[in-house]
Structure 1
């Protein structure tokens, strides 16, 4: 096992624990306590957010502690951790991979199933006139500032199943009109998502996964321009 695989296992285990807590058929102490609260859907989603964040912080701090970058039980020490093949996992690499998985969407980036990952903020009913929450898989229209054309963009929420109005969430976005927007998107680019002409939220690109959409850097444009001049 590598340090990358070790950090990834912690990230996946966190999600597995959360899913178990909210499984109606689960008989763990935590899941039974949650069922006894008789929460409505919004209450369950808020509790899911709280537990997700708490376990993220706990797992992340443990991983940093094992790498000597944070304290465990009030003591900050260097540890040596080996897998069954005697490969050392500690020594500085766990910290970096832990950050990438728990704070920078590494699992979703590595999957590469979407066109880009973005941070989305849903407007409140008063701001955007939408009345109901959105479920993961929702497909509003996406509009970028530089173009009049809109495109359908499926939102797969990260660590969430439901998003309520006024919430901010990170999501994998898959658009239909890839060819139209080829070479025009870049990290941190902002956009709206809409129902028809009605803006219901705003977004900002965090990671572009589909290289076809990525805007060429200034250095690439200069290089290509010089090459074109030389060829002509």
Structure 2
């Protein structure tokens, strides 16, 4: 059993899609979530080479800026045919304007360059690492994964990031074709959050 999370916490993100997802996940536990983006706080430099390192960097920066317990998600898409890329550089593929159409096109172009045209060659996983830090320095980390296939052309209008090209195992829909509620039952973030909830939110 981990440390309890109650009251208010700060989410280390400037991504409104991620904030919406977390608000929905946290709501049943009575925890109020505010994001560093809403507070106008800067983005720390993510100098880590793993999801765990970057999640910790972001959580600590949010804690230090607000004094509130902080939670950070570092997540990304790891494509088997590309040696695990983009991985921790998932957001970087979207360019300085964070244009996810650019990111998905790059993923598609690199898959084609790697000769990955059949579904079995286009396997990937979304990884989510959640790190929670408390003002006394205590921290806990949780990881979740969603396995699936990268489809092209993209499908769906919901979600964010690479969701329109990611079809999770066991579904005929991409993440972007699902409602938020549907995605929140099977996504990588839902799985890491479930571990966090078991440890830090549930009685």
Give the TM interval when normalised to the shorter protein.
Answer: under 0.3
TM-score, with length taken from structure 1: 0.22
Q: RCO greater where, 1 or 2, for CA within 8 Å and sep 6 or more?
A: 2
